[in-house]
């Protein structure tokens, strides 16, 4: 395992790309358009960042949070207010992929990861319907759950022993799924850590705690091509080895909520930090997306 000093670059500073938002989340890179989409949740809009500047991609946006691209490159969105996982088709129309489990409405899908077989794995905690700030207070009908949505539309419970499942990402070889637990939103001492599961035949097993981020907690996470986990944290970005060791940190002036690799070689880390979008070039590459 290389030292963290070899994973970052002494002459690549943290850059502030844009600010003036309220709370950024859900960054997703479009290499084909050289742009980043990112949710500004309390402002109920999705922004598009390019080197030329920032524009509004969608508003209102159903208080969108997490994003991903499916195996065909289409945008997948976790929409708090709509309590649904949606897909933007190539003609611009929106398809609701999942809004109910059985007869009951989902809570507020938070983040989504795509597996190479086309299945979509997403977390459904209560955060997005707990407050008007992030999506509008609504009554929960289901416990906080991690779901798997198969390409044929079948929705299954992947894990149901979370108080507040949040960010998630697969290891590059898809044998492990990392899921952050951020606990009950208003608890005095919420359970917060990164858990890891073995993935076999699209079932999760052997859950264990990988790492507890401090200060703050892990919300969004993403893997590099070597399998290290890059996590949001209260003081910036933490890089965690697959065995749970903290390898190093990138200090950021604001609490980091989410992050993703992008740029021409997937070696630029885009960082959502409260009202500000940052980026930093690293000496690693983000794991290839399906």
CB of 31 to Mg ion, least distance (A): 23
Pick 8 or 233: Cβ nearer Mg ion: 233
165-170 sheet: strands from edge to edge: 165-170, 176-181, 193-200, 203-211
Q: Quick check: helix, strand or coil at residue 42?
A: helix
CB of 234 to Mg ion, least distance (A): 15
CB of 58 to Mg ion, least distance (A): 18
Cβ contact 76:67 at 8 Å: yes
Pick 44 or 111: Cβ nearer Mg ion: 111
> Which residue in the block uniquely carries the two structure tokens 């899921």?
179
CB of 41 to Mg ion, least distance (A): 10
Rounded CA-CA distance 66/146 in Å is: 14
Q: How far from 48 is each of 18, 137, 279, 283, CA to CA, in Å?
A: 11, 27, 14, 25
CB of 126 to Mg ion, least distance (A): 12
> Which residue in the block uniquely carries the two structure tokens 């976790």?
78
Rounded CA-CA distance 275/224 in Å is: 25
Rule CB under 5 A: which residues touch Mg ion? 110-111, 166-167, 219
The gap from C-alpha 182 to its chain's centroid, in whole angstroms, comes to 13
Pick 111 or 181: Cβ nearer Mg ion: 111
Pick 110 or 222: Cβ nearer Mg ion: 110
Cβ contact 180:194 at 8 Å: yes
Pick 8 or 270: Cβ nearer Mg ion: 270
Pick 121 or 267: Cβ nearer Mg ion: 121
Q: How far from 26 is each of 41, 66, 159, 166, 197, CA to CA, in Å?
A: 9, 4, 21, 11, 22
CB of 1 to Mg ion, least distance (A): 27
Pick 167 or 183: Cβ nearer Mg ion: 167
CB of 125 to Mg ion, least distance (A): 8
According to the 3-state scheme, what is the secondary structure of 237-269? Answer: EEEECCCCCEEEEEECCCCCCEEEEECCCCCEE
């Amino acid at each position: 395992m290389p030292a963290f000093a070899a994973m970052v670059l002494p002459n690549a500073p943290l850059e502030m790309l844009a600010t003036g938002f309220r709370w950024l989340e859900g960054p997703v890179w479009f290499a084909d358009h050289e742009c980043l989409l990112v949710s500004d949740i309390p402002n109920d809009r999705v922004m598009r960042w390019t080197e030329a500047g920032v524009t509004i991609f969608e508003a209102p946006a159903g208080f969108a949070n997490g994003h991903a691209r499916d195996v065909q490159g289409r945008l997948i969105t976790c929409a708090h207010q709509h309590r649904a996982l949606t897909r933007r088709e190539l003609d611009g129309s929106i398809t609701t992929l999942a809004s109910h489990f059985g007869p009951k409405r989902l809570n507020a899908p938070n983040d989504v990861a795509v597996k190479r077989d086309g299945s979509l794995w997403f977390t459904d905690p209560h955060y997005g319907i707990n407050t008007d700030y992030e999506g509008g207070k609504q009554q929960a009908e289901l416990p906080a759950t991690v779901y798997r949505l198969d390409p044929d539309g079948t929705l299954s419970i992947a894990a149901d022993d979370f108080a507040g499942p949040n960010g998630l990402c697969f290891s590059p070889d898809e044998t492990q799924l990392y899921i952050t637990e951020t606990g009950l939103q208003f608890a005095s001492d919420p359970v917060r850590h990164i858990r890891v599961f073995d993935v076999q035949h699209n079932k999760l097993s052997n859950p264990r705690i990988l790492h507890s981020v401090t200060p703050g907690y892990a919300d969004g996470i993403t893997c590099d091509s070597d399998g290290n986990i890059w996590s949001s944290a209260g003081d910036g970005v933490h890089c965690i080895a697959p065995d749970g060791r903290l390898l190093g940190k990138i200090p950021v002036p604001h609490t980091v909520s989410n992050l993703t690799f992008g740029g021409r070689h997937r070696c630029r880390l885009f960082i959502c930090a409260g009202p500000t979008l940052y980026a930093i070039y690293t000496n690693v590459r983000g794991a290839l997306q399906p």
